[in-house]
C-alpha cells in the first residue's frame, strides 16, 4: 500500500493549489468582467486577434497572389513573438491567451500544409502526417500541462524533459518555429518562383558558387531550413510521448488515491 500513498502524494506535488472552478461560474465571471480587467481585451489577446485576421487574409491570397500571401503570413507569424513579450511586460498573461496563441499557430500552419498537399500531391501523405502530429502533440501537451497545474504549456520542468525545457526557451522557440515556418513558406514559393539566382541577380561563378546560384532563392531557403523543420517535428514526437506519459501517470495516481480512500472507508 506504500506505493498507493506515494502515487497520491506525487499527484498532490504535481498539482499545487489548484481550485476547481464550476463551468457556469466561469461563464458568469467572463460575462460580468469589467472593462478595466477584460481578459478578451488584454493587449496580447488583441495581438492574437490581429494574427487571426492576417492569417485569414494570407489564406485568401494563397492561391493567386504569392507576394501578398507571404507578407501577411510572415507578419502573422512574427506577431507570435510579440504577444508573449507584451503579456509578460504588461502582466496580462492568461490561459485564454495561451490557448488562443497555440490554436492560431496550429490552424495557420495546418492551412498552409493543406495547400501544400495540393501543390505537391506526391507528398500529400507526409503533409497529412505533419498536420496530425502537430495537432495531437500540442493538444496532448496542453492538456497534460493544465491537468498538472502548470501556468503555461511553455513551462516544462527539466526532470520531465530536458529537450522540451530547452525547446521552450524563448530564443530557441523563436528560432525553431521561425525556421519551421520558413521551410513551409519556401515550399509554397517554389511553386511560383522558377528563375535561378544566376539569372535573377546575374551571378556567375565556378564550382560550388555555380552550383548554389543554379537554385532559386526559395529552394535555397528550403535547404537551409529543412533540418530545422525536421528538428521541430522530432520535438513534436517527444512532446507527444512525454504528454502521454504525464496523463497516464496522473491516471495511475488518481486510481491509487481512489483505492486508498476506499480502504479508509472500510476501516
Segment 247-263, tens digit of pLDDT? 999 999 999 999 999 98
Note the pLDDT of residue 203.
74
* CA-to-CA dists, residue 181 to 71, 72, 121, 174, 267, angstroms: 13, 13, 20, 11, 59
| pLDDT confidence tier of residue 16, bands split at 50, 70 and 90 | very low
State the chain's mean pLDDT as an integer: 89
Q: Is 105 a catalytic residue?
A: yes
Query: Is there a contact between 87 and 97 (Cβ–Cβ < 8 Å)?
Result: yes
Question: Tell me, what's the pLDDT at 148?
Answer: 86
Is the pLDDT score of 201 beyond 70? yes
Where do we find the cell 507578419? 75
What pTM was computed for the model? 0.87
Grid cell of 27 as nine digits: 461563464
Q: How do residues 75-132 score in pLDDT, each as one tens digit? A: 999 999 898 889 989 999 888 998 999 999 999 999 999 999 999 999 999 999 999 9
**To the nearest whole percent, how much of the chain has pLDDT over 70?**
92
Distance CA 161, CA 166 (A): 9
Provide the terminal-to-terminal Cα distance of the chain, rounded to the nearest Å: 14
pLDDT of residue 13: 52
Residue 18 has pLDDT above 50, yes or no: no
pLDDT band with cut points at 50, 70 and 90 for residue 20: low
Q: Which one is catalytic: 80, 83, 101, 105?
A: 105
Contact by Cβ (8 Å): 239, 138: yes
Residue that wins the pLDDT comparison between 22 and 221? 221
Read off the pLDDT of each residue in 59-85 and give the average, rounded to a whole number.
95
> Using CA atoms, how far apart are residues 229 and 225, in angstroms rounded to an integer?
6
Is residue 173 within 8 A of residue 196, CB to CB? The reply is: no
Q: Is 263 exposed, middle or buried (0-12, 13-18, 19+ CB in 10 A)?
A: exposed
**Domain positions in the chain:** 2-10+23-266
Amino acid at each position: 500500500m506504500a506505493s498507493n500513498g506515494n502515487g497520491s502524494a506525487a499527484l498532490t506535488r504535481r498539482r499545487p493549489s489548484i481550485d476547481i472552478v464550476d463551468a457556469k461560474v466561469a461563464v458568469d465571471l467572463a460575462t460580468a468582467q469589467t472593462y478595466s480587467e477584460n481578459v478578451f481585451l488584454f493587449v496580447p489577446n488583441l495581438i492574437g486577434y490581429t494574427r487571426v485576421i492576417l492569417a485569414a487574409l494570407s489564406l485568401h491570397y494563397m492561391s493567386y497572389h504569392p507576394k501578398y500571401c507571404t507578407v501577411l503570413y510572415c507578419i502573422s507569424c512574427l506577431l507570435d513573438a510579440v504577444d508573449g513579450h507584451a503579456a509578460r511586460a504588461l502582466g496580462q498573461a492568461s490561459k485564454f491567451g495561451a490557448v488562443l496563441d497555440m490554436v492560431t499557430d496550429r490552424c495557420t500552419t495546418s492551412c498552409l500544409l493543406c495547400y501544400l498537399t495540393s501543390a505537391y500531391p506526391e507528398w500529400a501523405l507526409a503533409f497529412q502526417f505533419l498536420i496530425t502530429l502537430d495537432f495531437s502533440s500540442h493538444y496532448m501537451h496542453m492538456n497534460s500541462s493544465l491537468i498538472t497545474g502548470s501556468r503555461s504549456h511553455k513551462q516544462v520542468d527539466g526532470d520531465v524533459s530536458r529537450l522540451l525545457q530547452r525547446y521552450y526557451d524563448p530564443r530557441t522557440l523563436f528560432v525553431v518555429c521561425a525556421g519551421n515556418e520558413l521551410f513551409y513558406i519556401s515550399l509554397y514559393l517554389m511553386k511560383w518562383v522558377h528563375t535561378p539566382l544566376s539569372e535573377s541577380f546575374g551571378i556567375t561563378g565556378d564550382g560550388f558558387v555555380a552550383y548554389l546560384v543554379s537554385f532559386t532563392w526559395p529552394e535555397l531557403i528550403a535547404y537551409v531550413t529543412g533540418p530545422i523543420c525536421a528538428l521541430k517535428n522530432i520535438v513534436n514526437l517527444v512532446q507527444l510521448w512525454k504528454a502521454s506519459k504525464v496523463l497516464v501517470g496522473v491516471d495511475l495516481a488518481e486510481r491509487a488515491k481512489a483505492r486508498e480512500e476506499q480502504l479508509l472507508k472500510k476501516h
